[in-house]
Amino acid sequence: MTSTPEITDSHCHLDFPDFADELPQVIDRALAAGVTRMVTICTKLRLEPQVRAIAEAHAPVFFAAGTHPMSAAEEPMATVEELITLARHPKFVGIGETGLDYHYSAESADAQKQSLRVHIEAARQTGLPLIIHARAADKDMARILAEEHSAGAYSCVMHCFSSSAELAQAALDLGFYLSMSGISAFPKSAELRDIFAAAPVSRILVETDAPYLAPPPHRGKRNEPAYTRHTAHVGAQLFDMDYADFAAQTQTNFDRLFRKAAAWEEDV
């Protein structure tokens, strides 16, 4: 009997109300599917305590925190010092999500850019990876990421990547990572799959963005970390790899980028 290959859901939102009634069962289903680690993301810093509490209560769960770009104009502007303080928690493993979203909130572009640069500086100072949300803002995103990287290196993942090939290449040229979500498994996402297939497999992560974007065969339903395996199977096909080999590669990639999570496991 073979064991289930281990993978990591590098981005989910376990504090959302969708999971309130059955979070322990959701985590158990993830573990049964081979999803042995989950990074739950805080999108508004005032909610960080409840996100942190989930990570503290569940051994497989780590967390990150930042101000989502769609909330940048509504929430108090984050400070570098605030993010550095939060990052001292042993299970706090990333800065964000942050970024630019001009699809829904172009009117707050200036606030989003300011917030993004704050988060980048916090990532630079803590050594933790930046977690980027990018939508309909490719040129500004590529420019700011490159400008800031020239001012001082930092690491980064383009979470739930579904932007252009040009932004993907700009991110890869800076040494960043691309994360596959359920979108890459949608039947109409052939162009996106081509973008991932053209990237080095050593720079690929997998995620759910749960409760959103459930991959087939669960599309249209609530997503959950267990479904990471469906996206990972698509990734294995794209790179012409056995599922176990692709899963192992994404684990290596995650450990390389999210070094604090990997070190925490070793300590435990």
Q: Pick out the residues of the known binding site for a divalent metal cation.
A: 11, 13, 97, 133, 159, 209
Query: Which stretches of 11-65 are DSSP H helices?
Result: 23-32, 48-57
Tokens 């990421």, located at residue: 145
Read off the tokens for 127: 């050594």
Contact (Cβ atoms closer than 8 angstroms) between residue 168 and residue 195: yes
Q: Report the distance separating Cα 261 and Cα 158, nearest Å.
A: 18
Read off the tokens for 128: 């933790």
> Binding site: residue ranges?
11, 13, 97, 133, 159, 209
100 bridge partner residues: 134
Tokens 């990734």, located at residue: 235
Read off the tokens for 98: 């942050």
How remote is the C-alpha of 110 from its chain's centroid?
A: 23
Contact (Cβ atoms closer than 8 angstroms) between residue 52 and residue 89: yes
Contact (Cβ atoms closer than 8 angstroms) between residue 136 and residue 101: yes
Q: Kindly report whether the peptide bond that precedes residue 211 is cis, defined as omega within 30 degrees of 0.
A: yes
Write the single-letter amino acid at 49: P
Residue 59 sits at φ, ψ, to 5 deg, of: -55, -35
